[in-house]
Amino acid sequence: MLKIFNTFTKKKELFLPLSKKKINIYVCGVTTYDICHIGHARTFLIFDIIVRYLQHLGYRTNYVRNITDIDDKIINTARKNQEPAFILSQRMIKYMNKDFLRLNLILPNEEPRVTECMQEIIKNVDLLLKNKHAYISDNRDILFSILRYKNYGLLSHRKYRNFSHYDSFSAGKDYRLSDDFVLWKYNNNIKNNSDSLWNSPWGFGRPGWHIECSSIINKYFHNTVDIHGGGIDLLFPHHENEIAQSTCMNRNFSVQFWIHVGMVVLDKQKMSKSLLNTISIRNLLEKYDSEVIRYYFLSSHYRHPLEYSEKNLIKSQNILIKIYMSLLGCSINLSYRSLRRIQVRDDFKNQFFQAMNNDFNTPVACSVLRKLSKYINKIKKNNFYLANILASDLIFLGNILGLFTHKPKEFLFKLDQVFIKHSYIIRNLIKMRNNYRFEKKWHLSDIIRIKLLELGIIVEDHLNKSVYRYR
């Protein structure tokens, strides 16, 4: 039975879907002001795995991932580029789709853009105003009143920071907090912002971030979601604010499981565009096959932070090479899975599914695949029939994780070409380093040595030459 860690309760719980017909899954998508980085890749790849596994278990999934195609960051970037905001968004969506296709991510059933849901957003802001969970500020923005929702902080276990007496509602005296968040940003300067403003009962403006997701969930799921997820950085304030406004909009709002993916960190800092320390998906795909990237992400539990490491990417690549090597020469036939039960097959399968049923424990599941691969190599010479059966099992189990989608020869040939290119670059770097050493420019020589070390390459200096090896 599948157990999932629920961020809301802080414990693993038995997964019992709200409906037998299908599972509703909502994941907060990207904001389209720049190309996607590997932090995005990890989050959406994890939900790709979750959807794949649920489908394997026989569930029908209704997977919705939104696109935030209007936002202050989009508007500011578009102004710098001297282009309309919607043109920038369209271009970034196109790049995103290319990146996600190359990563072999399952397409959502629906991928609504915020700009397509403006009527629903305006309707929900109006509802929150009418039931006095929101108010119009002095600058004519519409804000959600946190103090009007008594259960604020249930998800994140964080409370508002402070409050000050600001105004009173018609129903009686109340307080407004510095943490009250924007539902609608007023801006009547339509002349200079025609592509990023919408008319509403309160004048022109655009929605706040949090109301967008609440409105999309209301539209596509009628406020009933089995799994709601995103990166751990969205837990507060985004998901906390979602719960507050969605509950106040509709008392029947229900999320069965909250799932949050750990951040990708670089030099112990969160990888984010605002910190200017991101590595784009497209750049990573220039260096590594998508399955290498997938295996690298799966080798760490999804709830833990992941330190970006070229060394571990190379390690993942080497593991996949060994697994594909074990499949060489085997006759792969997935119909073998229907053959009589063999104890060794059951052992590997039970270990794999036990891991996946334990909160999608992909590191353990991947270790089972490695053990199965080693066992195939061990018996290939003496029991080719069983090796073929187990090879088919290996492909089948790997496919559940989106792995082993290549033919072994094709994958290995592709990596050979990468290695040839890689070796050429390394040799040139070492040649450049030797020149710096000859000129006694030791600091430049050390920079190249450190860079090579980051790539998992150790340079050994001898009397007349330098050689390298992979660590």
Provide the annotated binding site for Zn(2+). 28, 213, 238, 242
> In the chain, how many H helices and how many E strands?
14, 19
For residue 84, cis peptide bond before it (omega within 30 degrees of 0): no
Centre a 10 Å sphere on the Cβ of residue 403 and count the other Cβ atoms it contains.
21
Pairing of strands 11-14, 61-65: unpaired
Q: Given its phi and psi angles, is residue 360 left (phi above 0), alpha (psi -120 to 50 degrees) or beta?
A: left
Cβ 144 vs Cβ 245: under 8 Å: yes
- For residues 471 and 465, what is the distance between their CA atoms, to the nearest angstrom? 19
- For residues 428 and 469, what is the distance between their CA atoms, to the nearest angstrom? 15
Cβ 297 vs Cβ 306: under 8 Å: yes
Residues making up the binding site for ATP: 273
Residues making up the binding site: 28, 213, 238, 242, 273
> 3-class SS at 307?
strand
- For residues 390 and 377, what is the distance between their CA atoms, to the nearest angstrom? 10
Cβ 386 vs Cβ 379: under 8 Å: yes
Assigned token pair, 182: 């924007």
Q: What does residue 131 show for φ and ψ, rounded to 5 degrees?
A: -90, 15
* Residues in a beta bridge with 4: 13
> 3-class SS at 76?
helix
Buried b (16+ CB within 10 A) or exposed e, 312-326: bbbbbbebbbebbeb
Give the count of alpha carbons within 13 A of 251, CB side only: 1
Question: Long-range contact list for 425-431, CB < 8 A, 24+ apart?
Answer: 426/452, 426/455, 426/457, 426/468, 430/459, 430/466, 430/468
- Which amino acid would we find at residue 62? N
Among 104, 455, 421, 414, CA closest to 290 = 104
* Residues in a beta bridge with 280: 37
> 3-class SS at 128?
helix
